Amino acid sequence: MIIDILIEDTRWNSTALATRGEGVAAAALAHLGLAGRGYEASLLACNDARIAALNADFRGKPQPTNVLSWPSEERGAETDGGTPSAPSDPELGDIAMSYDTCAREAAEMGIALDDHAAHLVLHGLLHLLGYDHERDLDATLMEGLETVILGKLGMADPYSER
């Protein structure tokens, strides 16, 4: 898995985003049986102002968020809780993450910024692979995958009560 990272906000340079992002992406693809297929994704490491503009442009929500994703093709399952279709395009799509929101959320949860950023990379990647959390069973599936994959990397369940 190759993640092409464009760092717009230099505060990301003080994190392990590049190495942790690649690691969590590789773990996700391995867990899903998709390793070794030459998949690629782009990651924009930006700030709240930039992600708010993207959120307004693409979702009609003019406020910052932690992560956004744009899959290169529709892969979502038709049935709630179903497994998405395997990618036919090696270019999975694009992810954007805001430093401000990520850092604030990590502080509020009392976790390391690098761990939260790794979780958000995983979350965005799963969206690129067709996973979602709009429907109940889809959310259960996606959150379960995040918990298992992060656990294999020695990170805590991001959905547990702290």
Go through the domains of the chain in sequence order and give each one's CATH number.
2-152 (3.40.390.30)
What are the tokens at 94?
Answer: 């694009």
Whether 162 has a pLDDT exceeding 70, the answer reads: no
Contacts for 134 with CB less than 8 Å, ≥ 6 apart: none
Least confident residue range of 24-28, 45-49, 156-160: 156-160
CB count, 10 Å around CB of 54?
20
CB 142 within 8 A of CB 126: yes
- Angle (CA) 78 80 81, round 5°: 110
CB count, 10 Å around CB of 148?
13
Give dist(CA 56, CA 27) in Å, integer. Answer: 32
Whether 99 has a pLDDT exceeding 80, the answer reads: yes
Give dist(CA 48, CA 45) in Å, integer. Answer: 10
User: Identity (one letter) of the amino acid at 151?
Assistant: G
Give dist(CA 150, CA 78) in Å, integer. Answer: 26
Whether 70 has a pLDDT exceeding 90, the answer reads: yes
Output the pLDDT for position 94. Answer: 98
Q: Enter the pTM of the model.
A: 0.96
**Selection from 44, 45, 62 nearest residue 53 by Cα:** 62
What are the tokens at 103?
Answer: 């850092």
Whether 132 has a pLDDT exceeding 60, the answer reads: yes
Whether 66 has a pLDDT exceeding 80, the answer reads: yes
Give dist(CA 13, CA 32) in Å, integer. Answer: 30
Give dist(CA 112, CA 5) in Å, integer. Answer: 21
